[in-house]
Amino acid sequence: MSPSVIRHARGAIALTFLVHGFVVGSWIPHIPLAKDRLDVGTGIFGVALLAIAAGAIVAMPLSGGLINRFGSARVTAVTGIAFCLAFILPPLAPDLFTFILVAIVFGATIGSMDVAMNAHGIAVEKAMRRATLSFLHAAFSIGAMVGSLLGALLLGLLDGTGHILLASIIGLVLFLPCMRFFLPTEIDRGLSGEGFVLPTRATVGLGALCFLALMGEGAVVDWSGLMLRQRFMLDAGTAALGFASFASGMSLSRLLGDRMRMKFGARRLVRWSALLMALGVAIALVVPSATIAIIALALAGIGIGNAAPVLFAGGGRLEPDAPGRGIAAVTTLGYAGFLAGPPLIGFVAELTGLTAALGLIVLASLVIAASARAAGAADAY
């Protein structure tokens, strides 16, 4: 395979990650607005958000099977288009029942695209013979930052519907040209040997750490804005700056992450990443200043930024004879945490309050730091 083909594929999958982050970031400002529109309590809204997690968790292992049959390039193309279109549905849902139904669809597109684009990203990394997954996740974080900042700006100028449609169109316009530059479908088609992908003994430990890492990330995505609104009485646009700060920190760390993994090793990188995440979230939850809390979320983003990319890379190497199975298993467990974390926080918040419930992120980060040895699988080049 020629270097130019690989280089173009890296650029295309990086832009795919950016589009995915942009759409997710565009959804962030609508989360507090959706809760207000549905007029439900924190616990009930947590159940509603669980529908997104349910759709994703069902779709993820199915996506792994589709990758085995059709290749990650084709699955990424189809699910990417579906994701940009499904984003329109939840912010427009008029009642709780409708919200839950369309949230399942939205979650299914999130989960299936996540598995597919990460699988293709690891295929590109293997073709390059050097680390690049942190760079791809940096593109996601940059997209999420831009999406949330643009949303905070446009919600002051447009109504919610106008912003949703514009964000969806932008996502499609950026994503559609990427598809022709992906690696050939044969690069990872038929490698896993199984259609339905479930965690195996070789991947479950790494997947559990990925679950905790993305549980914390997902909780910040969905609840940081509401936490800032409740603690400091901020408007929805200003509260969205908390996630934008978090995404900015992740972007910075991921831009440097591939070099850091090659220099310091995956174990050390994951350990210190988790400790910084714990410190940043703890500060954000206790300081009496909204400005300091937003800055602390940037520190948390710097910390957790490289955990998921390194753990995903490890999943692609734990089973060399069946890389598709390993990738999909760890990714599925990781994004199960990303999507199940926010509803879990919602349940706990109903009993303890949102600020105390978000303390679970600190605990999860400390567990990751103590168990970082498992991340060494990512160093197998």
Nearest partner of 140 among 257, 229, 50, judged by Cα: 257
The confidence score (pLDDT) of residue 31 equals 83
The confidence score (pLDDT) of residue 193 equals 53
Judge whether 230 and 351 are in contact, CB under 8 Å: no
The confidence score (pLDDT) of residue 325 equals 65
The confidence score (pLDDT) of residue 319 equals 64
Alpha-carbon span 77 to 113, nearest angstrom: 8
Nearest partner of 49 among 373, 267, 365, 341, judged by Cα: 341
The confidence score (pLDDT) of residue 159 equals 76
| Three-state DSSP state, 188 | coil
The confidence score (pLDDT) of residue 194 equals 53
The confidence score (pLDDT) of residue 321 equals 56
Q: What are the Cα distances from residue 303, in Å, to 1, 53, 134, 172, 376?
A: 36, 24, 13, 31, 18
The confidence score (pLDDT) of residue 86 equals 96
How confident is the model over 291-308, as pLDDT tens digits?
A: 999 999 999 999 988 888
219-232 burial, b at 16+ Cβ within 10 Å, e below that, comes to bbbbbbbbbbbbbb
CA atoms within a 13 Å half-sphere pointing along the CA-CB vector of 9 = 27
The confidence score (pLDDT) of residue 202 equals 63
What would you report as the CA-atom Rg of the chain, rounded to the nearest whole angstrom? 19
CATH top class, domain 3-180+195-379: mainly alpha
Residue 250: which residues within 8 A CB-CB, separation 6 or more?
A: 137, 138, 141, 144, 217, 301, 302, 304, 305
pTM value > 0.85: no
How confident is the model over 188-231, as pLDDT tens digits?
A: 776 555 555 555 666 788 888 999 998 988 888 778 888 888 88
Judge whether 366 and 145 are in contact, CB under 8 Å: no
Q: What are the Cα distances from residue 42, in Å, to 26, 49, 99?
A: 21, 10, 15
| Residues in the chain, pLDDT under 70 | 190-202, 316-317, 319-325, 377-378, 380-381
What is the signed CA dihedral for 135, 141, 147, 152, rounded to 10 degrees? Answer: -150
The two three-digit tokens of residue 157, written as one number: 């100028």
The confidence score (pLDDT) of residue 234 equals 81
